[in-house]
Amino acid sequence: MSDSLQDQMRALGLATEKPGKKNTSRTKRPAKTAARNRNSGAGEASDLSLEKAYALKRREEQQQADHARRKKQAEDRQRRQLNKQIRDIVKVSRLNKDDAERTRNFFFKGRIRKINVSPEQLRALNSEELGVVYLSGGYHLLDRENVDRVRALSADHVVDLGTDEAVDDGEFPVPDDLSW
């Protein structure tokens, strides 16, 4: 047990330097210095394994980045294809009127949204004969059959008016505890 800790580590192959020398370099050595050390024979095994470890790490990180990029591209392609299919349905069956005088408010994706409708459309919308579809920042009024076609493609694009409390142009109810 007279061996020092450094001697024991050197015997196990964990230390390659002589006891009097200290390695003060904490950063990765440049390629020329590493090559010079390999050629001189000092520390050859540890330099090669360290370089291999860095190369393996870089290759693994690059593979992960490539995989993430391919996955995102595939998701983007799928989203564009889905939006095109929904856009084709909306284009031929959209019932929105530019001169609609009523506003139908609804809750969608955490916010209150609105769509302008005629009085007849408002009645049909409230009786669920019509529905609302979200596409590319706009809300489109469609008949029930086309809303169901969009729902079959993506339920996230269909506004659920039945479960949320609908608010139209009328007054908002005031809770009893807020009256003055």
Q: What is the pLDDT of residue 173?
A: 54
Place of tokens 């230390």: 15
87, β-bridge pairs: none
Average pLDDT over residues 66-81: 95
Question: Per DSSP, what are the bridge partners of residue 117?
Answer: 102
Measured CA to CA, the distance from residue 172 to residue 21 in angstroms comes to 82
Residue 78 pLDDT: 94
Residue 44: predicted pLDDT? 62
Is the separation of the CB atoms in 92 and 143 below 8 Å?
no
Q: What is the pLDDT of residues 131-177, one digit of tens each?
A: 999 998 889 999 999 999 999 999 999 998 864 444 444 455 555 55
Which residue reads 């809300």 in tokens? 139
Q: How far apart are CA 80 and CA 72, in angstroms?
A: 12
In the predicted model, is pLDDT for residue 92 greater than 60?
A: yes
Segment 1-51, tens digit of pLDDT: 567 887 887 888 787 766 555 555 555 555 555 555 555 555 566 677 889
pLDDT at 115 exceeding the cut of 60: yes
Quick one: average pLDDT of 61-68?
96
109 Ramachandran zone, left/alpha/beta (phi>0; psi -120 to 50): left
pTM of the predicted protein model: 0.55
